[in-house]
Every structure is written in C-alpha cells, then in structure tokens.
Structure 1
C-alpha cells in the first residue's frame, strides 16, 4: 500500500511548484464550487496577509511550507500545515472579509478534502478510526474515501494535465483501505486503525 504521508508531501510539492489542479466538472457541480481550479496563489496571498499579525488566521502556515528548502520538502508536518482546516478557514475568511476572489473557495475546499482524507487514512485512535459502532459516522467516512477516489481519477494536475504518479498512489492507498476495513470489520473487529495487530 502506498505511503500516505509521502503522498501528502508529493501533493503539496506539486501545488507549491505552481502546478494547477483542475477539479472534474461533475465534482464542481456536486460541491457547488465557484471554479474548477486549485492553486497555490490563494495560499501565498493568505501567508502574505497574515505576515506580522500577532494572532494569525492560519497559525501553522509558514513560508517554509510554500518555499521549502531541500530538507523542508521532506517534512510531513509542513505539508499538513498547508492541507489543514485552519488554512482552509483562512482562505474562506479572505473571501468573506477581505474581498478576495470566490475562486479561493475551491482551493479551500480541496485543502479540507485532503486534510479529512489524511485523518481517515492515518488514524491511530478509536475516535477517528473506521468503525461500525456509529453507522452514520462510518457511512460519512466511507463516502469521503470513495469521493477521494473519484476526485483523483478525474483531476488534472499541471499544464498538460497528464496522469501523475501521485494520483495512482492516492487511489491505490484509498481503495486498499476501503478493502481492508471492509474485511476486518466484517470479521468482527471493532475498529480499523494502524495500531491494530
């Protein structure tokens, strides 16, 4: 199964190198997104906007995440600071309070999706684990994972929009997790986490 933290780093690397992510049209319509484009521009704008603030909107977002050194590229934490609820909320604030383009909301949405996906894929605690003890929450989590598979099958990354290895990795990791959790929970396990033996 592909390494999930490595996939998040690859996604962040593609984004900060200026590659545009084009969201499939059916996803744009389903999620009621204002545009189909995800880019680093809104994130850079947020970083510049909150520079010098004592209380930052996205406190963990830093220049090291957007313009990483050779060693910074290897840090999963910096990638997760980009793909976070705080960064997504910061972009929404920029649109609502600072008159930034509505297109920023598409990037905010994408950051949230990757954040939720990472939480589910790397769960190490029963609270965030896949479990059928609360079926409503379980169904929501499964839907998130299925939607990620659909998203990455249709997403176009970069100018040419060719298929990227990170897409294969995300799809393989997610479909593997869906299959593993189904088998384990059907066998009677209460949770599927990476700590389960």
Structure 2
C-alpha cells in the first residue's frame, strides 16, 4: 500500500541507514509523524548541519567540523605514537577505553581490490607522509582482524620496511571473561601466536 508521496519519501530516506529495512523505516516514519514531530524537526536540522558542516580532519582524517579535530589539536597527546584505525567508530572505541594517549590516523576503510578500494582511496600515501614528517617512533596498526584488515596492515608495514619505526599490531585473542569452548579456531590460533610470559 502506498501512502502520500511525502510519507513514501521519508520511509525510503530512512532505509539508507544500516540495518533499516522497509518495516523498520515505516515504524520510524510513523513514530516521527504521530508522536515525534519536534524530534523529527530537530533530527532534520541536525542531519542538515552535519551533512553541510562535518568534514575530515586535515591531519588524521577523522570526522571534524574544524580544520583539525580535538585530538589532533590537543598538545597533551603523546608525540611519536600513531595508531591507525579503519573507521571513526574504531577510534571512538579506543578513546572510550581511556588508556591510549597518542595520535590517530583514520583510513576510512580498508584495502579491497575487488571493490575498487586501493591505497589512494584510503589515504595510505598521506599516512606515510605524516609518519615521515612527524617523526613517528611507533606505528600501531589497529585495523580489524579480517582478511581485508590484515591485508591493509601488511601493506602499510611493507611500505615502511627498512625504516627504524617500531610497527606493532593489536593483540588478538580470547576476550576477558570468555571460555575456550566457545572461541573459534581463528581466534584461538591468534591467541596462541600472541602468548606472552605470565609475569608481564
């Protein structure tokens, strides 16, 4: 059943969000129209402002509404350590953990030749230039433990081969509170390869 063109357009527009199908989009649209008109107007304004005003940080490529994001502008962040992540959500997860105090570089993706995503599309040359110009001493490759994430990490590492930069990879393995019987073989393999002395 078709509604008015404006309702249909609202439903279709909501479907651009990840995980939102036809039924979910209809529920969202109907909620906004029935009981959430003020919230809908605020959402509309926030979307318009974000689409017009949010860009990439000139230094790390993270989302920012200024030339440099708050992390890159912060003089208290540890110089010399640079953490490479695939997305702003990865950066946010690390920041919320609260332990890392270095700088970041956000790739906005990973290498995927089958999808036409090469080094240029994710800014690897920009990353390498920043590593050289800023005197980075440790590069932490925090790409996801997927085939594409691993390939991206290896590509970056290969491009820096022969330098004296310490290149590290986040440890992968059994989550805290996890049970061995529920862990997949791939994760167990990484856990065994990344084992370290108990005294550390």
- TM bracket, shorter-chain basis: under 0.3
- Larger of the two Rg values belongs to structure: 2
With normalisation by structure 2, the TM-score equals 0.27
TM-score by length of structure 1 reads: 0.28
Q: Where is the strand percentage greater, Structure 1 or Structure 2? A: 2
User: Which structure has the higher relative contact order (CA within 8 Å, separation 6+)?
Assistant: 1
